[in-house]
Structure 1
Amino acid sequence: MVAIASKYHYEFIPIARDSLTHMARQHSFGLVWADKPDVFDGDLRQYAAVMFLNTPAEQLSPAERGNFEAYMRAGGNAIVVHRAAIIPADAWPWYEKLVGRRVGTHPMLQTGVVTIADRNFPATYGIADRWVWSDEFYPTTNPYNVAIKPVLNVDETSYDPTKIWPGQTARGMGKDHPVAWYHPYEKGRVFVTTLGHNGDDYSDPQYLTHLLGGVYWAATGRGQLR
């Protein structure tokens, strides 16, 4: 797997790098860490999955975007984490479809209750049915009508979904507010978690359990209960 991290939430980088390196050693998979998009200039076929770790995808050049698209069309897989789910509207429609949702208004950090939407998916194994967690709970829309399979939701009664950055307004999404999901795309698999704003999240056992489950599924296609 190759993990791409860059300037956003930069304080998480040393923590996440140590945790993912330990995760790779513990679970016997290879990890390449990159902090520049030029990794997309190379042969991506060598990687079972590509992780966008808080990385803005719009920083990829047209050639790098084309290389990543070709990778997915050849059966490559992707993991999208938190800030990496955000891209300017219509800047790269193919990537928005890969994410599966468009992030709308930018919420403020709050503590809320995350709930399980799919207990049979590896990214929920070991997670409590109601998980108290602090994050930016992104509201999303679906302009391209992409079908996703929710893994985790957030209970909007447990926080204030109208509390967002100044200059924006929001009403919340209601009962169905996914914060993690998966779906097939091109000929590959995509796992998205919008959780992971704080640097300390990347040393939290619950969060890392959630992330590992998504990585495991994306890279191998295994682990789901039938």
Structure 2
Amino acid sequence: MNLKTNLLTLALVLTFALSSFAQQNTQIRALVFSKTAGFRHQSIPEGVAALKKLGQTHVFNVYTTEDSNHFTDENLAKYDVIILMSTTGTVFNDAQKAAFQKFVQSGKGVVGIHSATDTEYEWPWYNQMIGAYFLAHPRQQTLRLEVVDQNHPATWHLPKNWLWTDELYEFRNINPSIKVLINADETTYEPAKAMGANHPMAWYHEYDGGRVFYTALGHVESAFLDPDFLKHLYGGIWYAAKGKMPK
């Protein structure tokens, strides 16, 4: 083996070692899951790319997949948080559901983005975990979002009144235990079925041993280029993965 080959081998070994060291020392290990069995949002690629970039910026590891076979006890044990990136429909079988539940029950976190509430309608545990089921939405519009809780990492940076443009979800089967972060002001746009004064658009709660953050925002591709929305997402990820809240 000549000197050039030896140097190349050494460089590859060092690269692998540094990569392994970086992954071992990352502060959060996130699984981004974006499988759809219903409507598929065209913003999913932008969302996945934005989450990868957040990982690079904030020094956490991001693994992405649309393969629900990844949901086993062994695989999920590697992660601190599962991020449901606009999933839709029935995406898990019974064994995968059991692994997901065990993950949450072990004290770990879940983040739901936009149509994560348009997922698993026949699974009551999921409904209570994610916080609600999708009901309807009007055409895309601009509205006033009222930030009702500015003491959460997902909303620390947001103003009390946040002007936003998106596809605005309405919900059913809302878990009464969710803690609302952002409310939609229905007087500032034309809703589909109308929920009234209590129209949550982002929330969090502890559920079955784990932590959950959900935001209904993120239908449009441009959302994933918006600095405030990206901070909103990262704050939710940090909470779900680490459980850190101000005292």
Task: Give yes or no for TM over 0.5.
Answer: yes
Kept in 1, the 8 Å contact 2:140–2:168? The answer is: yes
Q: Which residue of 2 aligns with 1:176?
A: 198
Bigger shift: residues 35-44 or 115-124: 35-44
Answer yes or no: is 1:93 the counterpart of 2:114.
Answer: no
CA distance in 1, matches of 2:48, 2:119: 23
2:187 to 135, 153, 157: 157
Deviations 1:46-66 (A, max 9, x none): 111001000126211111111
Change (3 A) 1:107 1:37: farther
1:4 to 29, 33, 38: 33
Kept in 1, the 8 Å contact 2:179–2:203? The answer is: yes
CA distance in 2, matches of 1:210, 1:73: 25
Q: Which residue of 2 aligns with 1:225?
A: 246
Bigger shift: residues 13-22 or 145-154: 13-22
Q: Which has the higher contact order (CA 8 A, sep 6+)?
A: 1
CA distance in 2, matches of 1:87, 1:182: 18
SS in 2 for 1:3: strand
CA distance in 1, matches of 2:149, 2:240: 16
- Correspondence list, 1:95-174, <5 A: 95-142=126-173, 145-162=175-192, 170=193, 172-174=194-196
Q: Which residue of 1 aligns with 2:54?
A: 23
**Post-superposition offset of 1:108:** 2.5
**Post-superposition offset of 1:156:** 0.6
Deviations 1:146-174 (A, max 9, x none): 41100111111110113xxxxxxx2x111
| 1:183 counterpart letter in structure 2 | H
CA-based RMSD: 1.7
CA distance in 1, matches of 2:137, 2:44: 21
Kept in 2, the 8 Å contact 1:9–1:197? The answer is: no
**Post-superposition offset of 1:87:** 3.1
Answer yes or no: is 1:75 the counterpart of 2:103.
Answer: no
TM-score when normalising by structure 1? 0.88
Rg: which structure is higher? 2
Q: Which residue of 2 aligns with 1:165?
A: none
Bigger shift: residues 14-23 or 195-204: 14-23
Q: Which residue of 1 aligns with 2:20?
A: none
Which structure 1 residue ranges, 5 or more long, are not aligned? 163-169
Q: Which residue of 2 aligns with 1:46?
A: 78
| 1:48 counterpart letter in structure 2 | D
Bigger shift: residues 9-18 or 124-133: 9-18
CA distance in 2, matches of 1:155, 1:127: 16
Kept in 2, the 8 Å contact 1:57–1:84? The answer is: no
The sequence identity of aligned pairs, in percent, is 33
Change (3 A) 1:18 1:88: closer
**Post-superposition offset of 1:176:** 1.4
Q: How many residues align?
A: 215
Change (3 A) 1:140 1:225: same
SS in 1 for 2:42: helix
Deviations 1:88-144 (A, max 9, x none): 64x01010010112222233221111111111011112212211111222122336x
TM-score when normalising by structure 2? 0.81
| 2:186 counterpart letter in structure 1 | E
Answer yes or no: is 1:216 the counterpart of 2:246.
Answer: no
CA distance in 1, matches of 2:138, 2:163: 17
Which structure 2 residue ranges, 5 or more long, are not aligned? 1-29
